[in-house]
Structure 1
Amino acid sequence: MELDLYDETNRITTEQKELVNSLLEFAGNHLKLPDDTEMSVSFVEDDAIQKINKTYRGKDQSTDVISFAIEDEVEDELTINFDDLEEPMPRNIGDIIISVDKTASQAIEYGHSFDRELGFLALHGFLHLNGYDHMDPEDEKEMFGLQKEILEAYGLKR
């Protein structure tokens, strides 16, 4: 998997970037994604994610993670079937944006390490990019069950 990491905060260590990269690679293999799958993860401050949340979701508040799935269907938008292309091309599934401030505060609130919370949020966003959601109880059970399964198999415990 091709994963681009952008740290706009200068607060994420090389080891933490490697953790996110390794965990999402593991999750991609778990979901059996093609090797040429592409995506990005950006680490931002609270004020940056609040602006994004307000602009794209209409919520004027910060949040922990936002995912922008490229393959989400939007009304009146042309649908591209990547399987029908003559020349295979990498599949970009989207972008994840994580608030480093929320990561730190939630790690304290939930009583685990910053690294564990960072991995959890990255995986949560990754599952959204792959079509999982938690809008109703049945979907929530499926997504959170898969999240737990991947985190445990990877070895990132509370």
Structure 2
Amino acid sequence: MELDIYDETGEVSPEHIRLIESILQMAADYLKLKDNTEMSVTLVDNDTIREINRQYRDKDSATDVISFAIEDEVEDELPLNLEEMEGLPRELGDIFISIERTQEQARDYGHSFERELGFLAVHGFLHLNGYDHMTPEDEKEMFGLQNEILKEYGLERR
């Protein structure tokens, strides 16, 4: 999988960038995604994610992670399936993670920054791949898969 990571905070260590890369590569393998799959992760502060949340979700608050899936169907648009276009890479979309919220939630939940960062990266990744938690059944499926990936990676909740 082709993965671009952008640190807009300038505060994320190379080790944490590598954690995001490796856990998302493992998650891509877990879902058996093709090698020509592409996506990006942008690491931001609370002010930036709050603005994104306000602009795209009409919620005026900072959140932890936001995913923008390319293949999501939008009202009044034709469905787009880039996978069917031979030779073109499959673009999943973009994930934005607030590093400040990651730190806050790790502290609040009593686990490591690494565990929370891995959790948010996988959570956003699953959203890009069509998983959601709007119904109890969908939540059980998504969170179960999320926990399997985190456990296999070695970032299970303690």
Task: Please classify the TM superposition score into its range, dividing by the shorter chain length.
Answer: over 0.9
CA distance in 2, matches of 1:45, 1:60: 15
Is the partner of 1:133 in helix, strand or coil? coil
Identity %: 64
What is the letter of the counterpart of residue 46 of structure 1?
N
Superimposed CA distance per residue, residues 54-103 of structure 1 (whole angstroms, 9 cap, x where no aligned partner): 00000000000000000000122133333443x41111100000000100
Q: CA deviation at 1:37?
A: 0.4
Provide the rounded CA distance (Å) in 2 between the counterparts of 1:71 and 1:83: 10
Task: Read off the aligned partner of 1:37 and give its amino acid letter.
Answer: T
Aligned to 1:33: 33
TM-score scaled by length of structure 1: 0.96
Structure 2 Cα separation of the partners of residues 143 and 17 of structure 1:
24
SS at match of 2:40: strand
Once structures 1 and 2 are overlaid, which stretch shifts more, 71-80 or 137-146? 71-80
- Residue 120 (structure 2) aligns with: 121
Residues 68 and 128, structure 2, Cα contact 8 Å, conserved in 1: yes
Q: Distance in 2 between matches of 1:62 and 1:80?
A: 30
CA offsets, 1:18-37, max 9 Å, x none?
A: 00000000000000111110
1:39-58 equivalences under 5 Å are 39-58=39-58
Which consecutive aligned stretches of 4+ in structure 1 deviate over 4 angstroms post-superposition? none
CA RMSD of aligned residues (A): 1.0
- Write the mapping of 1:87-126 to structure 2, written as runs, cut at 5 A: 87-126=86-125
Provide closer, same or farther for how the CA distance between residues 81 and 109 of structure 1 changes in structure 2, counting only shifts above 3 A.
Answer: closer
* TM-score (structure 2 length as normaliser): 0.96
CA distance change for structure 1 residues 33 and 61 in 2, over 3 Å: closer, same or farther?
same
